[in-house]
Structure formats: structure tokens, C-alpha cells
Amino acid sequence: QIAVRACFLGFAFGCGVLLGAGRSAWRHFGWYMCSLSLFHYSEYLVTAINNPRSLSLDSFLLNHSFEYNLAALSSWVEFTLEKLLFPELKQITWLSTVGLLMVIFGDCLRKAAMLTAGSNFNHIVQNEKSDTHTLVTSGVYGWFRHPSYVGWFYWSIGTQVLLCNPICLVGYALASWRFFRERIEEEEITLIHFFGEEYLEYKRKVPSGLPFIKGVKLEL
């Protein structure tokens, strides 16, 4: 099953390269295919390097949630319909380039966060502290408290800028912001429970990294 998923992502990446390297009207969608397949494959790869004990088929994040899959499908439908109705909208190369840069930045930031956190990183919020669990505040964690979420946030929005999808751009921004606001509050309750005053001090000094999200409002 791992090989099937990896081969599928590799095939999608190859198709994206062929589309993106050409001059067809689907060139920007090819860039998107490369970005999407590389994101999911690298999620599994970095988890295998960092924390193999937590590795599973879910580490690809292909089945992240019904909402995630619905959002992806919606972006494909919007791109196709707008390409048929307003083809000039999908040929704004400078805007797609901005989106591609956002995607690259977001994915690199997320992977840097995963590598910096090492075995402390997990795709699932942990409710019990393990013996090796430490509070990571160095590297990109010195910039943002939640760099992996910041990276994913701008990656997801960047995919819609890349596709020149105005409707999904707004939808992705709102849905992602709400998801990460709730996820950060849930995670920070656990981190305060794990590390107490050490995390509260870190929280006071370092921003969450996401706009208008300050995290859980809780004091010891």
C-alpha cells in the first residue's frame, strides 16, 4: 500500500512536469500537480526520517479528512470551469509565479519545522508526554511557535493563487485559518500541561506566526 501511494504520487509528479514544462493552457495546473504530489510524498519521507515510530499510511496525509479532499476537488472543478469560461484568467503567469513561490516557501518552512522538531513532531496532537518529548524553541521555532502550521497555511493558499482560483482562494484562506486557530488552541493546552511556565514564557516571546491567531488564553 505504501508503494502504491508512492507510485501514484510519482506518476502525478511526472504528469505535472510534462504539463508544466510545456506551453499549453494547462501549464500552471502542471505546476500545481508537482507541488501537491511533492508535498504529500515529502510528508511521508520526512516522517520516516524524523520519527519512524509514528510512521503509517496516514503519514502521506492523502486521507487527511473529508473536508481536505473536498477542498482539493473543489479547486480542480473551479480551475476547469473557469478555464472553459474565462480562459484568459488562467494565463496570468506572474500571478501563478507568485503562487508557486508561496507554495515553495510554505512547504520548505513546514519541512524545516518537522526536521527541527525531530522525534517531537507528530501529525497527531499528543495527549501524553513521552520521556523524549522536549520543548523545541530553536531554528524556525524561534521565528514562530507553530512554523509547520504557518508553512501549511501559506502553502494551501499559494496553491489557489497558483491556479488563479479566486473563489477557492477565499474559501481556503477562511477554512485554513479557522482550522489552524482551533488546532493551535488544542495543541497549546497540551503543551502548557506538558511544560507549564516554560511554554508560557516561550508563548509570550514568540508569535504563533498566523495572522490574528494568538493561541489559547490560559495562565497557570
- What's the chain's length in residues? 220
CA 80 to CA 92: how far, in whole Å? 15
- Torsion-angle region of 128 (φ positive above 0: left; ψ -120 to 50: alpha; else: beta): beta
Model confidence at 32, pLDDT cuts 50, 70, 90, reads very high
Model confidence at 123, pLDDT cuts 50, 70, 90, reads confident
Tell me the average pLDDT across 191-203. 94
What does pTM read for this prediction?
A: 0.93
Instruction: Give the residue among 190, 191, 200 at the shortest CA–CA distance from 220.
Output: 200
Q: Which domains does the chain have, with CATH numbers?
A: 64-205 (1.20.120.1630)
Q: What is the mean pLDDT of the chain?
A: 94
What is the predicted pLDDT for the residue at 93? 94
Instruction: Give the residue among 106, 92, 79 at the shortest CA–CA distance from 165.
Output: 79
| Residue 219 pLDDT exceeds 70 | no
| Residue 127 pLDDT exceeds 80 | no
Q: Which residue has the cell 479532499?
A: 69
| Residue 96 pLDDT exceeds 80 | yes
C-beta separation of 180 from 213 below 8 A? yes
Model confidence over 36-89: pLDDT tens digits? 999 999 999 999 999 898 899 999 999 888 999 999 999 999 999 999 999 999
Q: How are the residues of the chain apportioned to helix, strand and coil, as percentages rounded to the nearest 5? A: 75, 0, 25
**Least confidently predicted of 89-93, 129-133, 144-148:** 129-133
Model confidence at 126, pLDDT cuts 50, 70, 90, reads confident
What is the predicted pLDDT for the residue at 220? 46
